Amino acid sequence: MVGKGLVWCKPSPNLVVRAAALARAENLSHVEPGPRTDSAVDAGLTNHTGYGDVFAPCAAHWLDWSKKPNPKMQEIDTVSQPAHDAPVAAYADALFTLAVQQRASDIHLEPQQQGLIIRLRVDGLLHRVPSPAQEIARRLCARIKIMAAMDIAEQRRPQDGRISTVGDGFQLDARVSSLPTLWGEKLVLRLVPANSSLLTLDALGLNQTQHAQLLEALSQPQGLILVTGPTGSGKTQTLYSALQWLNAEHRNISTAEEPIEIPLTGINQVAIRPSIGLDFAATLRALLRQDPDVLMVGEIRDEATASMAMRAAQTGHLVLSTLHTNSARATLLRLNQLGVSARDLTESLTLVLAQRLLRRLCGACKKACRAATPPGVQIQSTGFEANEAGCERCLNGYCGRLGVFELSSGRGLFEPASKRGSATETLQQGSTQSLRDNALTYHHNGDTSLAEVDRVLPNTNGQNG
């Protein structure tokens, strides 16, 4: 564990916040008085900005890591804590403001032996933010559970809840889940994008050809459209954007989801509940009795759901779903394992859309470097890489994300090998080379770094670039 303390002088509330942020960033154990000047702290902080002054109101309550480890958080009596608690409310507001400012998708509150660790997931990766003092930490978790209408006396079983709150300068909707861990209850807040009008097909990052291909598939009265990729690859955003595009008064759109990620006006969303027997298959069966036009099934993961989705897609319904597969080829194999015949696939599968998300380089601080030069690709001689220190507009040199796609129409997937071009041959090998090629285009355009392309889509064919 960390040992050194950060040394500074002339405490002022704002400086405490900044020093604490610096301590976290430099992996120091605690903050203590000393000869370091304000400007030295400021200088140290220029590389670790991003917290702004949002935590200033709760500066007096920073975690002092020099103290002894505290007892398990779950042993603390949280029930008797008052619902309204000004320092805790200020900290919660500061945390929510920071999360919204940084466009975080999740907030993790993790009890460890030394205290509560708080991390935000921004653009797919977790980043630590300053921790509150132990007293605040305990009450903060209780407060969040109260806000989410969870049972604060119950700390041994996982729970779910929901928060919808508006503060000074932020609006936050989140799904909250709790988990009993060794040092206390861990809470994760999954933030729901506040504005569903942002869910448009234009914002996904499809190129022109892919955009047209997707619109064509969505315009069909029937068929199955599958979005594939690992967790966190943006499948949900794509599905919801497609549903929003289809969302019109003359269509009956219904979904079976686990859980409902974003509430959409005009769409009948059903949260599946396997504990009472309401699984994807049972929900789909019920939805089919409700005169549907468009059906969205959160995930196809068993034979019953697969066969029902296929049948629906062949009998006048447009069906959208996801599979946790890495490539179009892997998708066909998976569906085959789920008992779907090649004939059914040919008749119902209209489009497979494989996707990943790449972090976008920060336009304000990206650094020029030599671009990778893959064989046979015409590229400019300079590329860009991330400024790892970041600037005030970004985290670690990245800001926002880019969708990278590979679309395979049903026909293309089943064409005999002789008709296939090189792109579909790589599909047949189950590789993600074509996705990687699309990602490299972003690199060539200066939108992302080669390191990011390599992180998300490692090179599989051994060639440079």
Chain residues in the site for Zn ion (CB under 5 A): 362, 364-365, 391, 393-394
User: Least CB distance from residue 101 to Zn ion, whole Å?
Assistant: 15
User: Least CB distance from residue 392 to Zn ion, whole Å?
Assistant: 7
User: Least CB distance from residue 384 to Zn ion, whole Å?
Assistant: 12
Whether residue 263 is preceded by a cis peptide bond, meaning omega within 30 degrees of 0, is: no
**Comparison of 225 and 386: residue with beta carbon closer to Zn ion:** 386
Kind of pairing between the strands at 184-192 and 170-181? antiparallel
Kind of pairing between the strands at 106-112 and 184-192? antiparallel
User: Least CB distance from residue 391 to Zn ion, whole Å?
Assistant: 3
User: Least CB distance from residue 385 to Zn ion, whole Å?
Assistant: 12
**Comparison of 104 and 308: residue with beta carbon closer to Zn ion:** 104
**Comparison of 83 and 364: residue with beta carbon closer to Zn ion:** 364
User: Least CB distance from residue 394 to Zn ion, whole Å?
Assistant: 3
Residue 6 and residue 66 in contact, taking contact as beta carbons nearer than 8 Å: no
For residue 273, the 8-state DSSP code is B
**Comparison of 79 and 364: residue with beta carbon closer to Zn ion:** 364
**Comparison of 62 and 398: residue with beta carbon closer to Zn ion:** 398
**Comparison of 73 and 394: residue with beta carbon closer to Zn ion:** 394
Contacts 24+ apart (CB under 8 A), 185-188: 185/73, 185/74, 185/111, 185/141, 185/155, 186/108, 186/109, 186/110, 186/111, 187/108, 187/109, 187/141, 187/144, 187/145, 188/106, 188/107, 188/108, 188/109
**Comparison of 46 and 429: residue with beta carbon closer to Zn ion:** 46
Q: Tell me the Ramachandran region of residue 168: left when phi exceeds 0, alpha when psi lies from -120 to 50, beta otherwise.
A: beta
Contacts 24+ apart (CB under 8 A), 77-85: 78/138, 78/139, 78/141, 78/142, 78/145, 78/152, 78/153, 78/155, 79/152, 79/153, 81/138, 81/139, 81/142, 81/143, 83/143, 83/146, 85/139, 85/143
Mapped onto helix, strand or coil, the DSSP state of residue 134 is helix
**Comparison of 122 and 338: residue with beta carbon closer to Zn ion:** 122
User: Least CB distance from residue 433 to Zn ion, whole Å?
Assistant: 31
User: What is the distance between the terminal CA atoms of the chain, rounded to a whole angstrom?
Assistant: 38
Residue 14 and residue 41 in contact, taking contact as beta carbons nearer than 8 Å: no
Please give the single-letter amino acid code of residue 92. Answer: A
User: Least CB distance from residue 365 to Zn ion, whole Å?
Assistant: 3
Alpha helices in 247-326 (DSSP H): 280-288, 303-314
**Comparison of 191 and 394: residue with beta carbon closer to Zn ion:** 394
Mapped onto helix, strand or coil, the DSSP state of residue 240 is helix
User: Least CB distance from residue 96 to Zn ion, whole Å?
Assistant: 23
For residue 94, the 8-state DSSP code is H
